[in-house]
Structure 1
Amino acid sequence: MNKTDLLKSIIERLEIDLDMIQRAAQTAYETATAEENIAENKYDTLSLEASYLATGQARRMEEIRQACKAYQQLTMRDYDPERGIQISNLVQLEDAQGNQQLLFLGPEAAGLQIGTGPSKVTVITPRSPLGQQLLGKFEGDEITLVLGNGRQVQEVVSAW
């Protein structure tokens, strides 16, 4: 996976998400302010609900805008075997059963997935438990995640 192409894909996906949320927020705003939706009694809450929705969508829109800006300003760095895993590194993990996953340690947009199948990359941030554990780790290191009542050990197979 080429990190430059991955960065472009992340930015494109965030821009698409931003466009969709802007249209949804505009629709909710128009619903909230439409004259025909003015409350006629205390049980008529369509306008109020639409205004709550518009407010939430405006917040999400700003989060996506900030994430897009963070990725546009991101300096891509190669994995440094002296410093370990850092932001902008692509990391391949493998669990005890041989299942592998590709993770991109980014500044924002946790959970975003780019690609499909074995080349699927999931974006994580240093604020996540997994991201916190990966920072500063080296190829060959193991990390342990506590998931519910169980523990999952994964090895850093490679980083770039």
Structure 2
Amino acid sequence: MDKHSLQQQVLDRLAEDLLRVETAARVAHETATHEENIAENKYDTLGLEAAYLATGQARRAEAIRQAISRWRQFRPGVYDAGKGIQVGALVTLIDVDDKQQRLFIGPDGGSMQVTSDGLLVQVVSSEAPLCRAMLGKAEGDEVSLQIAATRQQFEVLSVE
């Protein structure tokens, strides 16, 4: 799988998300500042609610801009078995039910799915609990993750 293609897909998706969030922030700001939405009494809160929404959307847009910046600077390297799994690795895991999943470890803005060679790849942030459990592991190693009362077990099938 081509890591640079995966990286470009992440950047494209983040750019789409940024456009949507900026549009939503603009609409919320226009709603908040529109003359028809000036509060007539203390129960008339549409303008205030729109202002809160615009602020939240603006913060989200800034977070996406920062994620885009980190992904642009990101250079996924070649897997080094001596270091084990690191940020930039493309990992295939298998669970106890023989279900496989492919993970691309990135710097930020994870929690999205992209495709490569017709296969689904989950993009995860280096801060995700599963990623932290994988760091330093190698092919054949076990990865264990406790989520609430459930312990999940995986085996690292391959790393690129």
Deviations 1:73-111 (A, max 9, x none): 111201111100111111111001110111111110121
Task: State the alpha-carbon separation in 1 of the partners of residues 140 and 11 from structure 2.
Answer: 30
What residue is the counterpart of 2:132 in the other structure?
A: 132
Contiguous gaps of at least 5 residues in structure 2: none
Aligned alpha-carbon RMSD (Å): 1.3
SS at match of 2:91: strand
**TM-score when scaled to structure 1?**
0.95
Q: Which residue of 1 aligns with 2:51?
A: 51
Ranges in structure 1 where 5+ consecutive residues have no aligned partner:
none
Q: Which residue of the partner structure matches residue 20 of structure 1?
A: 20
Q: What residue is the counterpart of 1:101 in the other structure? A: 101
Q: Which amino acid aligns with 1:65?
A: R
1:83 equivalent in structure 2: 83
Matched-pair identity in %: 48
Moved over 6 A (4+): none
TM-score scaled by structure 2?
0.95
Q: In the comparison of the two structures, how many residue pairs are matched?
A: 159
Post-superposition Cα deviations, 1:36-79, rounded to whole Å, max 9, x if no partner, equal 10000010000010011011111110111111111111112011
Kindly indicate which of the two structures has a greater share of residues assigned to strand. 2
Structure 2 match to 1:39:
39
C-alpha separation in 2, matches of 1:59 and 1:109:
14
C-alpha separation in 2, matches of 1:76 and 1:106:
8
Distance in 2 of aligned mates of 1:92 and 1:156: 6
